[in-house]
Each structure stands twice: as structure tokens, then as C-alpha cells.
Chains A and B, each alone.
Chain A
Amino acid sequence: MFYRENGQFKGNYSADLALFPIAQDRWAMLAFVAIAFIAVPAFASDYSFRAVLIPFLILSLAALGLNILVGYCGQISLGTGAFMAVGAYAAYNLQVRIPGMPLLLSLLGGGLCATVFGVLFGIPSLRIRGLYLAVATLAAQFFVDWFTNRMKWVTNDSSSGSVSIGKLEMFGYQFDTPVQKYLLCLTIVTVFGLLAKNLVRGAVGREWMAMRDMDVAASVIGIRPVYAKLSAFAVSSFIVGVAGALWGFVHLGAWEPAAFGIDKSFQLLFMIIIGGLGSIAGSFFGAAFIVLLPLLLNYVPHWLGLNLSTATASQLEHMIFGALIVFFLIVEPHGLARLWSTARQKLRLWPFPH
């Protein structure tokens, strides 16, 4: 009843094709962004920024990138961690090797390097698909793991193999406190979220979806497979690369190759399966879910007075993740995002059944 759209008439095509055609959505989204920018920094604690909000934002950015590739273009990838690593290390190298390199440019430069790498490993997708492609992307993962471990110049010849970032500064503005870092991430995520949303509803996005649904039919109606697939790889790995650079620069500050291991790849894949394949909002839902679940598993037994060891907790977490993946694939293949849209559909009619 609060979600009724009668009376909202559209006078022209652009109004019909707007990002949020329904006024309630528009206002809700604006309110949401306003809360994220104004209310959250005012009330959240430093701990919640460091442990929850910043990882959530960066991981949802990475999930967004992966969702473009897997959810929208149907090219499964198990090498997301590698693309994040390329972004992070490239950004690091730009930062230390070029004196006076602006932070924003090195973040975007990291993304560009990841794009090149992504397109390179996307080339096999022109010849193979499905399960075989999954293995090909695993190759990217292992290659990057090895490369960042063994090639000394990648880590600027650091003896321990780990790298660390100095001060974060952009336009003469320092990002020291968690709140400032949070706002930096939030801005980038918002911009990328809007760009991605616009991209997937435009011609490029429809090409990707046609490719995903049936590539033979897509090429019959004049979509170039090479262009569609490689552009999906490029856009996806650009976003994932920027997310990787943010993860290293903003969240971790100092990291070693293990930070971008195969576990990260699987984790991101789980995010988009649980959140919703082929949905921008789903990437955020999935990231929130996966960031919050371990915390929940830590706190709930504590409240109930049970004492779980950390090992048991992490094993339980594994089991719950695994079970949830299967559950979602069986019950709701479109993930939390679909649950949300079903709820919205119901709200439009509520309280009348039809």
C-alpha cells in the first residue's frame, strides 16, 4: 500500500527508462545514500568501520565486477582473487615507482592493468566455455599467486614478500581515520555502482545477457561474440582490479600475496551466488551476507553462553556457507536479490491479494 505506483504517469520515453522508474524506489535510494554518507559516519564506531563497513564496501565492489562477468555474461571465473591481486600490486608499483603519483590515478591504473590481464585470460573464453573456462581462470589464479611470490620486483624487492602502503592522500586531503577511509570507499563504490547499473541496462549489457542466455542465437542476431565476451572480461576485471587496489591500500594497508589467494576467489563467487547472479543489488546483498555471517557466528554462541573455539567456529562457517550455496542454488537460483524483488512485488499489492 505504501508501494503503489498508480498516479505516477510517464510522459516520455526517458522517464520510462529511468534508473528508478518508481518514485518510492528513487526516494528510498536517495535516502539510503544520504544515510550512508551522513548518518553512518556520525554514529558508527571505529571498530564497525574497520571490521564491517569498509570490507563490505570493497567486497561488494569486487562482487559487482565479478557479477558482470558471471551473472551478466555467463562466463564463470574462479580467478577473481588474481584480478584483485593484479590491481593491488599494479597500483602499489605505480605508487612507489612514480614520485608524486596521485592516489586516485594509481588506483585506476591498477584497474587498467587488471583489465589488460583480464582480457588476456579472457581470450580462451572465445574458444571454450563453461566448465573448461572455470579451469582456465584457475590457471590465472595460480599463475598470479606464483608471480607475486617469486618476482621480487613486484613487491619492490621487499625482503619479506609483503608490501605496505604509506599515507593515503588525495587532492591534498589525508585519509587517516576509518571514517575518512569509509567515505573514500563509499564514494568510489557509489560511482562504480551507478556506472555499472547504467552499463548493464544499455546496449552493452544487453549484448552480455544475450551472450549468456544463448550465444549462438546472439551471434545470429548480430552480436559479435569476441567483442561482447572480451568487453565483459575488460569491464569486470577493471572493477575487480580497483576493488583489489582498495582492498590493499585502504583495508589492509600492508599485505602479502596470500591476501588474494584462491579462497578470496571462492568467497566472491559465493557472494554473487547468494546475493543474486545478474543483479547489481545482489552483489551488495551477497557481500553484506558474507561479511556479516562470520561475525554473527562469533557473537550468537557467545550470547547463548556457548563457548566455541575459533577452529570450530570457522568449520561451522564453512559448513553453513556450503549448505547455503546448495540451498540457494536449489531454492532460489537468483539469490537474495530475487527475494527482495518478490517482496517488493508483494508490497505493491498489499494488503489486497490481487
Chain B
Amino acid sequence: MGFFLETVFGGLMAGMLYALVALGFVLIFKASGVFNFAQGAMVLFAALAMARFSEWIPQWLGFDNRLLTNLLAFAAAVLCMVIVAWLVERLALRRLVNQEGITLLMATLGISYFLDGAGQLLFGSATYKIDVGMPKDPMIVLENTFPGGLLLSQEDLVSALIAALLVATLSLFFQKTRTGRALRAVADDHQAAQSIGIPLARIWVIVWSVGGIVALVAGVIWGSKLGVQFSISLVALKAFPVVILGGLTSVPGAILGGLIIGVGEKLSEIYLGPFVGGGIENWFAYVLALAFLLVRPQGLFGDKIIDRV
């Protein structure tokens, strides 16, 4: 029982990260109807920027304070993501307005390749460390209930907390601010929003920037756990089944979907894996999402945007 719960917790933590990447997708899809294949590349780009700036800034400015360095590096990385968002809108999205979803998807594939290359060219392609001072020691809880207690990683708990905080901030931003309302209006109906004077181009830049910042947070958490390297961009491939499961347009769906896939993946690996040779983590999420698609094509909370063929 203790082992089972540990697995579940491990899955929840991994799921939280998937959910973070998926959140970036959902935000962008909601507001611009673009299925953003480049989210993974954005995570890599942002994490690389953060890692390298936190290394360079002390050299440039000549001081050694981890908190200040990290704050400055984070700000610089945010700036990078805003620039990326602006460039994407300027150079690609603006010219692809009113194209089919497939065309936009392929365009983001191109953007993803470009960002992969540009990120590694600008920031280097080795493995880098991000040290934001996350507690590394595992802790043991509930020793009385289970023999041996439950082994939890503090790092995972902190990152889950950060993710939760981010989601709360985002939903406040969407519900309470003027910009948030404009974003929701655009998400609902592009044309109507435009006709009451909401500048579509600016909204897209904002949404892609927010997507970039979410990617940055995901990248920082992931990078401080496992180091920043190219394989980070593959996390995004995990996030596709998450958004499919949760529904393409639903923020709670992304989070719940992430958790379900995180837990399902770990459980299936441990309890189902040995029978089929192990390593099923890689495709379990997809098969789950696929099976779900056949039953409920719009996902858990998604809008019914798929017309039955």
C-alpha cells in the first residue's frame, strides 16, 4: 500500500510538469486556434536562456548572489520569450491568418525546428544546470500509518506548489484584469472581438508571451531537477496526449489530464510493464488518449469542436 501510494505521488508530480507544458498549449490554442507544436521547443529555449543567463550575469555584472542572479536571469529569460512571441506573431502568425488548422500546425512545427536550432546556437548545446535553490533531500511522512513511511521528494512538492501558484495567478489574470477579459473575448470569437476594437495582433503577442512564460516555469522546474539539455523539448510530446485527454480548450482539463497521465503512466509501468517487457511509459499516454478520443472526441472538458466524421 505504501509503495502504491508512493507511485501515485510520483506520478502526480510528473503529471504536474506535463500539465504545465500542456497549459501553455491550451492558452495558445484557446486564444489563437493554433495547435502549438513548438511548445516543447519553447520550454527548451526558455530553460536554456535561464540556465545560461544565470551563468553569464554574475560574470557580466561581477557579483555573486544566487537569489539576485536567478531573479535577473529569470527576467532576462522572460524578455527572451516575449521577443520570441513578438517575432512569431510578426513573421509567421500574422501572415497565416484564416488558414486551416493543419497549415498552422505545420507552421508551428517549423517554428519548433527553428527554436531548437536557434536556442542551441545562441546558448550552447551542452547540459546545463539551473540552481534555484530547490530542496534536494527526500522526506519521509506518515511513518506511523505505513511500515517505513512514504518517501516523498521535497523538490517535487515545491515544484507542485509553484505550478499551483502559477495556475492560480493565471486564472486571476484571466478573470480579473482587462487584458485577461480581452483574451477571453478573443478566445471566444475572433471576429466579434476584433469588431469591438480588441487588437488581435497584440493579443496574440500577449498570449504567446504568456505561453512562453509558462514554458519557462516548466523548463526551470524540469531543468533544476534533471538539468537542461535537448531532451527537454521531448517533454512536449508527452503534453499532446495530456491536452487531448483534457480537452484542447480547457485549463482545468490540462491540469487534470496531466495528473491522470502522470499517475496512469507510473502505475502502468509498474503493474503492467513487467508483463509486456517494460518501457511502456513512452506510449501508454498516447494509447490512453487515443482510446479516450474514440469514446469522447472532445476530451474531458473540451468544447465540442470536432464534428463527427
Contact = CB atoms under 8 A, between A and B. Distances in A.
B255 interface: no
Contacts, number: 141
Contact of A322 (B117, B244, B293): B117
A307 to B, nearest CB: 15
A132 B95 contact: no
Say what secondary structure dominates the interface of chain A: helix
A28 to B, nearest CB: 31
A143 B113 contact: no
B106 A330 contact: no
Interface string A138-150: 1100110110011
Given A131-B105, A139-B286, A330-B96, A126 B117 contact: no
A76 B237 CA distance: 17
Given A127-B297, A136-B293, A143 B111 contact: no
Contact of B117 (A138, A146, A150, A319): A319
A322 B286 CA distance: 26
Interface in B231-266: 237, 240-241, 244, 248
Given A128-B293, A319-B121, A142 B111 contact: no
B117 A317 contact: yes
B240 A319 contact: no
Given A128-B306, A315-B125, A322 B103 contact: no
A315 B35 CA distance: 24
B95 to A, nearest CB: 5
B112 interface: yes
B106 A329 contact: yes
Nearest to A140: B286
A143 B110 contact: no
B287 interface: yes
Nearest to B122: A315
A324 interface: yes
Query: Interface on chain B toward A: helix, strand, loop, or mixed SS?
Result: helix
Interface in A14-35: none
Given A124-B290, A128-B293, A135-B244, A323 B110 contact: yes
Interface string B267-309: 0000000001111101100110110011001000000001011
A219 to B, nearest CB: 9
A225 B309 CA distance: 8
B103 A321 contact: no
A326 interface: yes
A322 B110 contact: yes
Contacts of B91: 326
A151 interface: yes
Contacts of A127: 293-294, 297, 308-309
Interface residues of B, number: 47
Given A127-B294, A131-B101, A136-B293, A269 B309 contact: no
User: Which among B121, B276, B283 has the highest number of chain A CB atoms within 10 Å?
Assistant: B283
B118 A319 contact: yes
Contacts of A143: 283, 286-287
A184 interface: no
Given A127-B297, A145-B282, A273-B106, A312 B121 contact: yes
A132 B113 contact: no
Q: Among A76, A129, A266, A329, which residue has the most Cβ atoms of chain B within 10 A?
A: A329
B20 interface: no
A333 B110 CA distance: 13
A296 B125 CA distance: 23
Contacts of B101: 130-131
B248 to A, nearest CB: 8
Interface in B100-142: 101-103, 105-107, 109-118, 120-121, 125
Nearest to A147: B283
Contacts of B170: none
A134 interface: yes
Nearest to A272: B106
B92 interface: yes
A189 to B, nearest CB: 25
B309 A316 contact: no
A325 B297 contact: no
Interface in A302-323: 311-312, 314-323
In order of increasing CB-CB distance, the 10 nearest A-B pairs are A325-B110, A322-B114, A318-B117, A322-B113, A139-B286, A319-B117, A142-B283, A150-B277, A326-B110, A315-B117
Interface of A: 74, 76, 124-132, 134-136, 138-139, 142-143, 145-146, 149-151, 215, 225, 262, 266, 269-270, 273, 311-312, 314-326, 329-330, 333
Given A129-B309, A136-B290, A316-B121, 10 more contacts: A132-B293, A139-B283, A139-B286, A142-B286, A146-B279, A320-B117, A321-B110, A322-B110, A322-B114, A325-B106
